[in-house]
Amino acid sequence: MRTLALATLPILVLARNPEPEKGDTGDTEPATDTAPPDADGSDFLTTGLTTPHGIVYDASEGLFFVGDRGEDRIYRMSPDGTLELFAEGVSPHAFTLDADGALYVSDHTTDPNRILRFEPPK
């Protein structure tokens, strides 16, 4: 078995949680002024995500799908961090793409939870 130290691997941060406020222990909700942007061409590196959860890469489009459970949104993100709102009202937990490019998302906004299928763009 081979072990790698993370400090030696190149890591590119494509998304991050907002910085906690001074004195925040990290176990509370983030400040309200750090909500993610609308689909205006902003990037995740400067605005942050409320609760990033789930990511999948669509090689055919060269885009990432990224979930934000805190805002109940799914974004499409280019490799440079530019985002586009893809879906609202979905509390994403995990993602996968099938061979035809359909996106499957496990959604935790309802009880019982559900799996959603989004058709690829034509």
E-strand stretches of the chain: 52-58, 63-68, 73-77, 83-88, 92-97, 103-107, 114-118
Between 50 and 11, name the one with better pLDDT.
Answer: 50
What distance in Å separates the CA atoms of residue 118 and residue 32, rounded to the nearest whole number? Answer: 30
Name the residue with higher pLDDT: 28 or 1.
Answer: 1
Q: Predicted confidence band at 8 (pLDDT cuts at 50, 70, 90)?
A: low
Of residues 72 and 22, more confidence is placed in: 72
3-state SS assignment for residue 92: strand
* pLDDT for 37: 45
Per residue in 24-80, pLDDT (tens digit) is: 554 444 433 344 444 455 555 555 678 888 889 998 889 999 899 888 999 998 888
Per-residue pLDDT, 35: 41
Q: Is the whole-model pTM more than 0.95?
A: no
CA distances from 20 to 13, 24, 71, 85 (A): 17, 6, 17, 24
Could you give all domains of the chain from N- to C-terminal order, each with its CATH number? 38-122 (2.40.10.500)
**What is the mean pLDDT of the segment spanning 5-12?**
56
In this predicted model, what pLDDT tens digit does every residue of 76-100 receive, in sequence order? 988 887 888 999 999 998 999 999 9
